[in-house]
């Protein structure tokens, strides 16, 4: 006797939920950096003259260039998301590539900035720094830890954006997982999937020790079809990238522009 079981294929997707999850994560990041900003504010209140003197040693030109680089990278990632939503994959990839490039430029600038300071003997715990007043020591310790933590975020963001570049360039794939609560019914039966009108049926036998039937179907979306799975990933990566930009928007005037 032959019986036929229908299996349901469901696609679980909640873009709003995914974005909300990202926002909740961003709030934890906000709290992390707020802790450091509070520390900065309290010490600046106590050692305002020393903070001013120490800040004069930072290069305002490099700081301004890095601010513009990061702002522009925020623009390009926003444009990349918009392009992917409008189904212009090529423009999306160009804009994403530009974002990754700007991220790299920022990090290279930071490298030169830090190495110049270290070359002059100014780094946490250095002999040169220890001879200075306590306020200046605190300023540079905060400078290294805060821009360092921010730089780490830039690095992580860049890696995530590179990963997305690969995903989008490779084109989207979809996976379906089939669940059946009564798998024992499937023992000894055959499973058949219609591949397409020309390709016919794909048939496979189900063994005796079946616990779960999992069917993974991957296919490339048709031309003109919006790349939904990658849009949400890119959108969340973009949210993270903009947060990194916002942190720098505050770091820049607080460290480079103390008048």
Partner 1 sequence: MSHHSHNEVHTIGYGVFIFVWLGLVVLTGLTVVISGVHIPKVAVLVALLVAATKSSLVVNYFMHIKYEARLFKVVLLMGIVTVTIFIGLTFFDVLYR
Kindly list the residues in this chain that would bind partner 1 in the complex (CB under 8 A).
13-17, 19-20, 23-24, 27, 30-31, 34-35, 37-38, 41-42, 45, 60, 64, 67-68, 71-72, 74-75, 77-79, 82, 85-86, 226, 228, 231, 238-239, 242-243, 245-246, 249-250, 252-254, 257-259
Say how far apart CA 7 and CA 15 lie, in whole Å. 25
Minimum Å distance from CB 48 to partner 1? 9
Cα separations in angstroms, 39 against 46, 85, 143, 145, 172: 11, 41, 12, 11, 45
Minimum Å distance from CB 13 to partner 1? 6
Q: By C-beta, is 76 or 129 nearer to partner 1? A: 76
Q: By C-beta, is 176 or 201 nearer to partner 1? A: 176
Cα separations in angstroms, 249 against 64, 66, 91, 194: 10, 10, 27, 54
- Determine whether 217 is exposed, middle or buried from the number of CB atoms within 10 Å of its CB (0-12, 13-18, 19+): middle
Residue 187: other Cβ atoms inside 10 A: 11
Ramachandran class of 120: left when φ > 0, alpha when ψ lies in -120 to 50, beta otherwise: alpha
End-to-end C-alpha distance for the chain, whole angstroms = 88
Say how far apart CA 149 and CA 33 lie, in whole Å. 9
Minimum Å distance from CB 208 to partner 1? 40
**Angle, vertex CA 232, rays to CA 155 and CA 163, nearest 5:** 35
Q: By C-beta, is 110 or 129 nearer to partner 1? A: 110
Q: By C-beta, is 89 or 242 nearer to partner 1? A: 242
Q: Which of 248, 251, 255, 252 is nearest to 51 (CA)?
A: 255
Minimum Å distance from CB 178 to partner 1? 21
Q: By C-beta, is 67 or 147 nearer to partner 1? A: 67
Q: By C-beta, is 30 or 183 nearer to partner 1? A: 30
Helix (H) or strand (E) holding 132: none
Minimum Å distance from CB 256 to partner 1? 8
Q: Which of 138, 149, 136 is nearest to 57 (CA)?
A: 136
Q: By C-beta, is 79 or 167 nearer to partner 1? A: 79
What 3-state DSSP class applies to 124? coil
Minimum Å distance from CB 112 to partner 1? 20
What 3-state DSSP class applies to 188? coil
Minimum Å distance from CB 24 to partner 1? 7
């Amino acid at each position: 006797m032959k019986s036929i079981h229908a299996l349901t294929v469901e696609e679980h997707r909640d873009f709003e939920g995914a974005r909300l999850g990202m926002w909740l994560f961003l709030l934890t990041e906000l709290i992390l950096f707020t802790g450091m900003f509070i520390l900065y504010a309290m010490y600046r209140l106590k050692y305002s003259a020393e903070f001013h003197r120490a800040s004069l040693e930072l290069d305002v030109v490099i700081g301004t260039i890095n601010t513009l680089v990061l702002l522009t990278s925020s623009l390009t990632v926003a444009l990349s998301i918009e392009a992917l939503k409008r189904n212009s994959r090529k423009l999306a990839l160009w804009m994403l590539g530009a974002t990754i490039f700007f991220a790299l430029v920022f990090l290279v600038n930071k490298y030169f900035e830090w190495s110049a300071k270290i070359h002059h003997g100014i780094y946490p715990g250095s002999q040169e720094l220890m001879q200075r007043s306590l306020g200046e020591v605190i300023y540079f310790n905060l400078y290294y830890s805060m821009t360092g933590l921010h730089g780490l975020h830039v690095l992580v963001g860049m890696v995530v954006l590179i990963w997305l570049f690969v995903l989008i360039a490779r084109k989207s794939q979809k996976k379906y997982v089939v669940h059946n609560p009564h798998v024992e019914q499937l023992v000894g039966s055959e499973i058949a999937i219609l591949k397409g009108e020309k390709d016919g049926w794909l048939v496979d036998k189900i063994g005796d020790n079946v616990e779960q039937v999992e069917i993974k179907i991957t296919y490339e979306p048709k031309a003109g079809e919006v790349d939904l799975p990658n849009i949400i990933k890119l959108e969340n990566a973009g949210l993270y990238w903009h947060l990194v930009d916002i942190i720098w928007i505050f770091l820049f005037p607080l460290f480079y522009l103390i008048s």
